[in-house]
Structure formats: C-alpha cells, structure tokens
Structure 1
Amino acid sequence: MALHSFHLTANWPGLRNDVGTINTANLHTKISIPPEMDGPGIGTNPDEMLLGAAATCYIITLAAMLERSNIEKECLTMTSEGIVDITKGIITYKKIIHRPHLVLCSEKDLGVASKLVQKAESSCMISRALKGNVEIELEANLEVN
C-alpha cells in the first residue's frame, strides 16, 4: 500500500464574518462564509470547495477512462451544481449534480463512452468519499461531431 499526503495551511485571524486564507502547493486563496449564509462572500468557501473537489475528480477520472479506452473526443466540458439545505440554522450539503458535455469524434464510441460517463462517478475518489452522505447525480449530454 502506498500512502500520499496532501497538506493545507489555514489562517483565520478574526471572528465568524472575517476573511481567512488557505494555502496548498497549488492553491492560494481567501476564504469566508458565502453571502447566502450571511457572510462577506470574499474568496471561496467550503461549499464551493467541496463542489470543486467532486467536479474536478469526476472530469479527470472520465478523461482518464476515455483515454484508456482509446476513445477520441473533440471536447469535454462540464457544469456542476451543489445543493445545500439550510433549515432552522442547520446546513446540510444534499446533492451534487454533474452535467458533463462530451463531444465524440466517432459514432462507434458512443455506447462505451456512455457507460464510462456513468462509471467515472463511482470510480472517482471524492465521489466514493461522499457516498452515503451527499447524493451525486449525472445529467450527461453526449454527442458525435
């Protein structure tokens, strides 16, 4: 078994509605509570970061699966939506919806690519970490150019 560690340094100099920072090897940004939760909305926030982790993991996993299957694509883009429930002051991350748009070069790859679009979600490390806590839904759009 090989283990790898990722490291993050956080600094929060003030109280609830102040602004902090996070730094990793490749990410340096301000953080605060989003305006939807009565915060200042400066930089990013945990909700966006969870959505970003799930989205980047999914699209990279899908691209790797397409490559291993020798499926040529013209483009792969995606939008993702994170749905958070705020009820009586309790905040719950309910669902993530990924909407990948895959344009293939050949009609012959459509069947396999369609299966890989589904398989990438269950193969992604972040999706597996969220399983049982946050529902992940796919609304895929596949086409051939």
Structure 2
Amino acid sequence: MSEIHTFAVTGRWPADFHQGGTLSADGLSVSFSIPAGLGGPGLGTNPEELLLASAAGCYLITLGKLLRNRRIPFSEIRLESRGFVENDRGLRFDRIEHRPVVLVDDPADEEHIRILCEHAEHACMVSSALRGNVAVQVMPEVQVQTAPSR
C-alpha cells in the first residue's frame, strides 16, 4: 500500500482585485496579486512566480539528493530559473529554464554532474506534475572552485 502525503494551503482573495490576496501554509505566508505586467497591481508575489519557485525548489532538492546519493562532492548549487508565459489567445505558462551551477573542488565528475542535472528535472515531483503542459529545459554549468591564494 502506498503512503499518501497531504499538503494544505489556505488563501483569501478580496472582491477588489487591486488589493491582492494572501496564501499561507506551514512555513509560508505570502501576499500575492496579478502581476503589474498583466494588468494587476503587482503587490507581493504572483502565481507565476510561485509556480516557478515551486519548480526551482523541487529541482534544487532533487539535484542535491542525487549528488549526495552518488557521493559526488560539491560545496553548493546555485540556480537561476526563468518562467516564460505566452499570450496566444489567452495566457499560458509555456516553459521553464533551469540554469544550475554546481560548485566543486575537483572537475573529475563534471560529465556525471551534467547528466545528474538533466536527470534531476525528470525525477523532480513538480516537473513531473507539469510534464506535458510546460516544457522544462536544463542548462547546467560546473564550476571548479580554486583554493584561496596565500
């Protein structure tokens, strides 16, 4: 029998959409509104950023676990993610680009790290939920840290 995990978010949205709404969950309390670029007030965050943050957070956790499970030493993963929304007969979240930078001391595992960067997108639960609706691209980079000079 499979184990089921439940996550809950509560929200409020006022009749006047220029005020924006709120969302809360364990560890989350955020104001949000329609982005200014889409005709809203641009207060707090917006659903598009929240979706992107969810995809980025899941990707980072998954990549970190894959690297750790394969015993590949790294000091940090840095990530820039971008979401692209198209307005083609209605708004549509078209694609996400993840640009991870994995900081390592030894470049020996570089090719393996690049493969795991791609694999993390396929193993991430949020990416799996988006698959078929939103394209996700990964553009990894591995940076070798140099020891500080004395």
Q: Which of the five TM-score ranges fits, normalised by the shorter chain?
A: over 0.9
- SS of equivalent to 2:71: coil
- Letter of the 1:11 partner, please give it: R
Q: What count of residue pairs does the alignment treat as equivalent? A: 144
Partner of 1:7, secondary structure, is coil
Structure 2 distance, partners of 1:112, 1:46, is: 34
The superposition leaves residues 63-111 of structure 1 with CA deviations (integer Å, 9 ceiling, x where unpaired) of 01000111111221010000001234x1000010001011212222212
Q: C-alpha separation between the residues in 1 aligned to 2:113 and 2:95?
A: 24
Q: Residue 144 of structure 1 corresponds to which residue in structure 2?
A: 144
- Aligned equivalents of 1:72 and 1:105: distance in 2? 8
Counterpart for residue 12 of structure 1: 13
Question: Gaps (5+ residues) in structure 2?
Answer: 146-150
Aligned to 1:25: 26
Q: Alpha carbon RMSD of aligned pairs, Å?
A: 1.1
Counting aligned pairs with the same residue, the percent is 35
Q: CA shift at 1:13, angstroms?
A: 1.8
TM-score between the two structures when normalised by the length of structure 2: 0.91
Distance 1:37 1:100 in 2: 28
Distance in 1 (alpha carbons) for counterparts of 2:144 and 2:47: 36
Is 2:18 the partner of 1:44? no
Instruction: Please tell me whether residue 77 in structure 1 is matched to residue 75 in structure 2.
Output: no
Aligned residue type for 1:131 = R
Question: Could you tell me how far 1:112 is from its partner in structure 2?
Answer: 1.7
CA distance in 2 between counterparts of 1:13 and 1:40 reads 13
Counterpart of 1:35? 36
Task: Quote how far apart the aligned CAs of 1:17 are.
Answer: 2.8
- Match of 1:36, SS state, is helix
Any gaps of 5 or more consecutive residues in structure 1? none
Letter in 2 for 1:96: I
- Alignment match, 1:92: 92
Q: Distance in 2 between matches of 1:91 and 1:24?
A: 27
For residues 25-47 of structure 1, what are the alpha-carbon distances to aligned partners after superposition, in whole Å with 9 as ceiling and x for unaligned?
11101111000101011111110
Cα deviation, residue 14, structure 1 = 1.9
Instruction: Calculate the TM-score normalised by the size of structure 1.
Output: 0.94
